[in-house]
Structure 1
Amino acid sequence: MDGGGEAAPPTAHPAVQPLSFLLGTWRGQGEGGFPTITPFKYHEEVTFSHHPSKPVISYSQKTWKLKDSGEPLPMHAESGYWRPKPDGRTIEVVIAQSTGLVEVQKGTFDEKEKVVMLKSDLVGNATKVKEINREFKVVNDELTYVVEMGTNVTSLQSHLKASLKKV
């Protein structure tokens, strides 16, 4: 025992360590659009959490818009798990959306560039959505992402983008 002071934060599981740049809660604003909907803006909170004994990251996301009264109005939420593979480059992700849609994604990550690229392997319980790709990147303590979506009538294209700061 060192006799005092603050305890060191627990280290991440070795499989999660290369993605530790994501860990924490991020808040900011985003915008969305698609050929079949009216463009919109939103506020967002994303949390990546982790217990050092498990090789997985818990993910949760929620968005809201502000009503004219200034009160938040919930829009969308999703949660899931990010599971880095032992090779230190690939990842599997499962996400359940509040709309009932479920995504199984596979992708790659680059610890040095602080980027994660995901492509849908399966989009379940969806009548129109056929594929979803996501790119997350951290630059200068800012998390940005882009979500692309393809439907049964529209090819894969930009749907959402946001910029978030760690809180």
Structure 2
Amino acid sequence: MSESSGDAAMRAAAERAETTRHRNIPSWPDLPIPDDTANLREGPDLHPDCLALLPLVGVWRGEGEVVYPTIDGPFRFGQQLTVTHDGRPFLQHEARAWLLDADGNVIRPAAREVGWWRPRPDDTIELLLTHSTGIVEIFLGEPRTQTSWELATDAVLRTASAKEVTGAKRLYGLVNNGDLAYVEERAMVGQPLQPHTSAYLRRVAG
């Protein structure tokens, strides 16, 4: 009997995770509440409301490019994105980046952001992000497919010392053998919405 598409997808996912399925983020065994997990095989069950975001859970690492009319780029950067859950109806998001030279050597730490993916009953998604540069953004969006998600800012706040940012869009999606890619457009410092960053990340845990 031939293999069904669902069985094939499950088998492919298991094969992709062969080297990462035993890895997770550091945990605190003495924490009196459920700890976060980036590995769906460990810790609390994923909340049913988060099933549309299930493929994002994990630790991802790779490289990308940043470009904008107001900088002398494009510049290469490395990035680690960690998406975890604690059994409640949201995902925790943390991204750390570092600038790279032309040979791939680390120059210095770069952008950092933390936030929350919040699926809603109508299948829309809220993404709240706080950046180390003093920007707070609320994105609204929805799944495009079972493995891609598109979001745009509904509100942008900034501290007095932060650069002017007026809007952004992001598209995340699984590509090739389950790797994660994203592109971001951004309107800031008097420039219209246009490409700003993109990255290609491979799963390293989960």
TM class by smaller structure = 0.7 to 0.9
Residue 124 (structure 1) shift? 0.5
How far did residue 10 of structure 1 move? Answer: 4.3
Q: In the alignment, which residue of structure 1 is the partner of 2:153?
A: 120
Change (3 A) 1:98 1:9: closer
Deviations 1:9-64 (A, max 9, x none): 64310011121100000000000101111211100000110112x00000000001
Amino acid at match of 2:113: E
**Contact 2:136-2:156 at 8 Å conserved across structures:** yes
Instruction: Report the TM-score, using the length of structure 1 for normalisation.
Output: 0.87
Partner residue in 2 for 1:83: 118
TM-score norm. by structure 2 comes to 0.71
Taking only aligned residues, the RMSD between alpha carbons, in angstroms, comes to: 2.1
2:172 maps to 136
Are the aligned partners of 1:91 and 1:107 in contact in 2 as well (CA < 8 Å)?
Answer: yes
The 5-angstrom pairing of residues 12-161 of structure 1 reads 12-39=46-73, 40-52=75-87, 54-66=88-100, 70=105, 73-87=108-122, 89-112=123-146, 114-125=147-158, 127-139=163-175, 140-151=177-188, 153-161=190-198
Percent of matched pairs sharing the same residue: 36
More helix by share: 2
Deviation at 1:71, TM superposition (A): 5.0
Displacement over 6 Å in runs of 4+: none
- TM-aligned CA deviation for residue 141 of structure 1: 1.0
Unaligned runs of 5+ in 2: 1-40
CA shift, 1:66, in A, is 4.1
